[in-house]
Structure 1
Amino acid sequence: MVPAGHDPRSRAGRPRRADARRNYEQLVEQARIAFAEFGVDASLDEIARRAGVASGTLYRHFPTRLDLIEAVLAEQIAELVELGRRLLTAEDEFDALSTWLRAVLGHGLTYRGLSAAVMNSALDREKGLVSRWHAEMFDAGAALLARARQSGVVVADANDADVLKMIGAVAWAAQDSPDGSAQADRLLALFMNGLLAR
C-alpha cells in the first residue's frame, strides 16, 4: 500500500509503471520493518536487498534517507493527526490529552533515532513534508492542550511546544533502555502528573 500523503508517481510527475509501483511499495514495507528492527540508521543497501531490488532502484525512488523515512511515516503521522482531531470531542479533556500523547510517544519509540533524524534533516527542508507534518502534529497537540487548559484540568502555564518537546525527550530517554516501553510509561505518568492542575 502506498502511504497516505505520497503520490504513486515518479519524481518527473508521470504515473509509475506497475513494476516501479511494486518496487516502491516493497521498499517502503521493507524499510518499515528494518527501521522498527534497527532504527532509522538501518542499512539502505540491506533494505534494497530485502525488497529484492538493486540499491540503484532504491536511490531512484528515494534519493536521500529522509525521503525514505517520509514514505514510511506518512500514514502513521496522518493517523496521529486524525486521532488528535477525534479526541477533541472526548468528554474527559485530560484523558483525551493523555491518550494522544501516549500515542505520539508510542510512535516515537517504534523507530530508534527517528526524532534526531527528522529534526536534523528538517533544518534543510523548512517547506517540505517534515515541516508540514511537524505543523500538523503541533496543531493537534496544541488544540488538545488548549482544551484541557480551558477546562482547568491542566496547569494554566502549560506550553504547547514544551509539552511536545517533553514527549520527544521521554522517547529519546527510553529508546535504548532494556525496559524502554515500561520506562516510557513511568516517565509519561510522571509528566502527566506534573501537568495536572491542583
Structure 2
Amino acid sequence: MADPAARRRKPADARATHKRILKVADAAFAEHGTGASLNEIAQRAKVGAGTLYRHFPNREALVAGLLADRVATLATQARKLAKSADAGTALVEWLHTFVDRVAVYRGASASIVDSALDPVPGPVAEMRTELAGLLKSAQEQGSVRAELTADDVLLLAGGITWVAERTLRESRNTARLIDAVTVGLRTH
C-alpha cells in the first residue's frame, strides 16, 4: 500500500510542475512569440515532452493557461460594462482593455480569437458570451450597428491586437486603430 504522505505530495508536485512550465513558457513566448518551441520549453522547465503535454495537450492550451487570468478579467469587465448607461462607449473601453491585456506575446491574439470562435466551453468562451451581452446592450441602446456579432468584434479586436503585438504595443498606434474601427461599429 502506498504511503499516504507520498499521495499528498503528488498533487503538490504536479502543481509545482504546472507553475514551472507556465513560468518558462511565459519567458519563451515573450522572447519568441507563441510559436516558440514546445520541446525547448519542456527542456528549460526540466520536464519531458510527455509531462508538458499532460499538463497542456497543445500549444493553444498552453497559451490559454498563460492568459487565463487576463481572459477572466475581460469576461468580468464585459459583464459589468453591459450595464452601462452608454454601452457603445463601454464597448470601446472593452476593446482598449482587450488590446492591452492580450498583446503580451506575438501570436497571443490569434490564439485567443481562435479559441473564442471554437465552441468548446472554457474561459475564452465565457469571455465571448459576456462580450455578446455587452454588444447586445450597445445595440439595444442604438449606439452600435445591429448586424454586428460578438465574433465580428472579436475578429476586429484580434486584428488590432495583432498589430499591437508587432509594434511593441505603442499605445498611440493602437488607440488610433481602435478609434478608426469603432467609427465603423457605431450607428450613424
State whether TM-score is above 0.5.
Answer: yes
Residue of structure 2 in register with 1:190 after alignment? 180
CA drift of 1:183 comes to 2.2
Aligned with residue 29 of structure 1, among 20, 23, 27: 23
Structure 1: gaps of 5 or more residues: 1-13
Measured against aligned partners, the alpha-carbon deviations of 1:37-76 in whole angstroms (never above 9, x if no partner) come to: 321112324433443x233443443343233223222222
1:127 Cα deviation after fit: 6.0
Q: Aligned equivalents of 2:61 and 2:13: distance in 1?
A: 20
Which of 4, 10, 33 lines up with 1:39 in the alignment? 33
**Code of the aligned partner of 2:165:** Q
> For each residue in 1:59-103, what CA deviation from the matched residue of structure 2 results, as whole angstroms up to 9, or x when unmatched?
443343233223222222222111111112233322211111222
TM-score (norm 1): 0.73
Q: What are the within-5 Å matches in structure 2 for residues 44-123 of structure 1?
A: 44-51=38-45, 53-56=46-49, 57-117=51-111
- Measured at CA, do residues 84 and 28 of structure 1 come closer, stay the same or move farther in structure 2, by a change above 3 Å? same
For residue 104 of structure 1, report the CA deviation from its aligned partner: 1.7
Which residue of 142, 145, 159 corresponds with 1:155?
A: 145
**Bigger shift: residues 184-193 or 168-177:** 168-177
State the 1:147 CA deviation: 1.0
Amino acid at match of 1:151: Q
> For residues 170 and 80 of structure 2, what CA distance do their matches in structure 1 show?
28
The alpha carbon displacement at 1:187 in A equals 0.8
Identity level (%) = 38
Q: Which moved more, 1:104-113 or 1:187-196?
A: 104-113
Residues paired across the two proteins, number: 180
Q: Would you tell me which structure has more helix in proportion to its own residues?
A: 2
Q: Residue 18 of structure 1 aligns with which residue?
A: 12
Q: CA RMSD in A?
A: 3.0
Query: Is the Cα–Cα contact under 8 Å of residues 82 and 135 in structure 2 kept in the other structure?
Result: no
Q: Contact (CA 8 Å) 2:103, 2:169: kept in 1 or not?
A: no
Aligned partner of 1:54: which letter? V
> CA–CA distance in 2 between the matches of 1:182 and 1:38?
24
Q: Say whether the 8 Å CA contact 2:83–2:137 is kept in structure 1.
A: no
- 2:134 is matched with 144
- By how many angstroms is 1:196 displaced? 2.7
Consecutive unaligned residues of structure 2, counting only runs of 5 or more, are 1-7
Residue identity matched to 1:44: L
1:32 partner letter: D
